Structure 1
């Protein structure tokens, strides 16, 4: 069983907030005990105490290690079996294809798995967006554990919004056992993965159903330089994010949204660029409108421009 029922979600949240929950209340949600999210209170058998969310997630991810080992052995076997064909291909073409198009999630993931298996020293990744789902984190953990076990260094860029995702923080804690560094920025480019500065993967469509595998040295080196520029501006995950201080009741996040509004972006595009969901984005826009006294969306753009908020941000960046 992998999912919590609605009653389970509510009761687990209550238990985390209050520190315990009555055993009788848990009867409608047996999933909590099946998933070992609650344990008996040593002081009172009529109560149950919650397992911290980060610890519970780490415990559920732990059994994946055996599958990771099995897949690693399979990858080695497949690499050995295809080695003779790779030699023939290299002799016939004279060079590696500079750009390869992969269509479909399965083919994209298979290509990334091959690059991970072939990687010798370094992985660089850019992962825009907010918190990850359990499925995405499980897939990332499989690849990450493989990298850690082989002593490969890894640097990953997320957006500031992942700092509010317990699942992503638990994943980061597991990955910290290896040569892994994680930093965050408010806004990132699209997804990017670079292996040994020799092969890179980028999405070719917004829905990420098509990806490009790049092996042209010039292209890959250009993407490495882009990554390094972002990395220098990013904040380590364990440090406070570099949000600008509030000005006249408008937070740094809201000023970032204001800048994108003035540039003409719609709510969905702003949310995607800042790694938050659309509902959160619209809540920030409503607070921004209230702070500036705007009665309409059209008036909001005018008030943003007249307020001088964006000019103040520009001055802060110059200093």
Structure 2
């Protein structure tokens, strides 16, 4: 037992002040006997006298101190046993903690702040969601600013719909100095942040309350290759080509929608994957139907497949 109950504390204090308490009173607080705080009054068996606190403390500490001494002895013996072997093993080829689960935004942000503060060369980020709360944009800006001031290169991928986000455009215009590059692509899978070739962060849940911190060199290298593949297919944010009309009368975003329609995705899934709202997605689908002369959703999928537009290079 580590603590006295409230009634036991009160009765023990009273016994110390008065010199004794009755057995009947002590029965209300069994912890007094568990701690051996009382002993029988030799002059009157109906009364109990308090054991001095210094004596009780010494009695309680003695077994603890003996255990500590024994554990220290065992520690020294173990250290002496293994000391000759330290340094004989082959060097580790990968970090011991290569994957760490981060739970909660506070812990995730702490890990991100640490990683970016240690970054010296380049940060790669994938941001698939078009709309972010203003506070999140400010937090990201504050995290990026010291990186830019240190000369760290930053490359960020957004979806094409980011071109219609005034807050995003205003933010990116602050860093148009060559060290910071922004590109857009039709479809992104999930958020990704990579610092140098050392650490990467990916979300675990859709609400982004849980993330993985990856420090396995092989995993980080693989994610860098994935980023570079998408980066090569992306368009600089300042360019207008993703929404310009191609020779077949369709925009690049409409080609992406056509591809997803043929694959059988519903409107909500297409909108989510392309980072736009459902109403905008349906407006593009309507333009597709008009361009191909479709009278129904089922016919539209057939006409897309037969038109050959998905075989063209866009």
Q: What is the TM-score normalised by the length of structure 1?
A: 0.64
Secondary structure class of the residue paired with 1:184: strand
- SS of the equivalent of 2:218 reads helix
**Structure 2 residue 284 is matched with structure 1 residue 280:** no
Counterparts of 1:278 and 1:262, CA distance in 2: 18
* Equivalent in the alignment of 2:29: none
**1:100 maps to which residue?**
100
Counterpart in the other structure of 1:109: 109
SS of match in other structure, 1:130:
coil
Aligned equivalent of 2:238: 238
3-state SS of 2:181 partner: strand
Q: Which residue of 2 aligns with 1:11?
A: none
The equivalent residue for 2:227 is 227
Shift of 1:178: 7.3
How far 1:242 sits from its partner (Å)? 4.4
Checking the alignment, whether the CA contact within 8 Å between 1:160 and 1:241 is kept in structure 2 is no
Change (3 A) 1:276 1:175: same
Q: Partner residue of 1:170?
A: 170
How far residue 291 of structure 1 moved from its aligned partner, in angstroms, is 2.6
Describe the superposition over 1:26-62 as per-residue Cα deviations: whole angstroms up to 9, x where unpaired. Answer: xxxxxxxxxxxxxxxxxxxxxxxxxxxxxxxxxxxxx
Q: Which runs of structure 2 are paired with 1:42-121 in the superposition (5 Å)?
A: 95-121=95-121
Gapped regions of structure 2 (runs ≥ 5): 1-91
Does the residue aligned with 2:132 lie in a helix, a strand or coil?
A: coil
User: Which structure 1 segments of 5+ residues have no match?
Assistant: 1-93
Aligned residue number for residue 208 of structure 2: 208
Q: What is the rounded CA distance, in whole Å, between the counterparts of 1:115 and 1:230 in structure 2?
A: 23
**Counterpart in the other structure of 1:292:** 292
- Does the Cα contact within 8 Å between 1:267 and 1:281 map onto a contact in 2? yes
138-147 or 128-137, which moves further after superposition?
A: 128-137
For 1:253, the equivalent position in structure 2 comes to 253
**2-side partners of 1:98 and 1:297: how far apart?**
48
Bigger shift: residues 302-311 or 96-105: 302-311
1:133 partnered with 2:133: yes
2:162 paired with 1:124: no
Kindly provide the CA deviation profile for residues 57-77 of structure 1, in whole angstroms up to 9, marking residues without a partner as x: xxxxxxxxxxxxxxxxxxxxx
Runs of at least 4 residues of structure 1 off by over 6 A? none
After TM superposition, give the deviation of residue 105 of structure 1 in Å.
2.4
Counterpart contact for 1:132–1:167, Cα < 8 Å: no
| Contact 2:242–2:251 (CA under 8 A) maintained in structure 1 | no
TM-score (norm 2): 0.65
Deviation of residue 131 (structure 1)? 4.1
Offset of residue 167 of structure 1 = 0.8
- Partner of 1:264, secondary structure, is coil
2:242/2:253 contact within 8 Å kept: no
Kindly indicate whether residue 149 of structure 2 is the aligned counterpart of residue 153 of structure 1.
Answer: no
Aligned alpha-carbon RMSD (Å): 2.3
Matches within 5 A, 1:31-42: none
Q: Distance in 1 between matches of 2:269 and 2:276?
A: 10
| Corresponding pairs, count | 222
Once residues 295 and 106 of structure 1 are traced to their aligned partners in structure 2, the CA distance between those partners, rounded to angstroms, is 51
Structure 1 residue 166, shift from structure 2 partner:
1.4
Distance 1:285 1:118, change over 3 A: same
Moved more, 254-263 or 121-130: 121-130
CA distance in 1, matches of 2:248, 2:228: 34
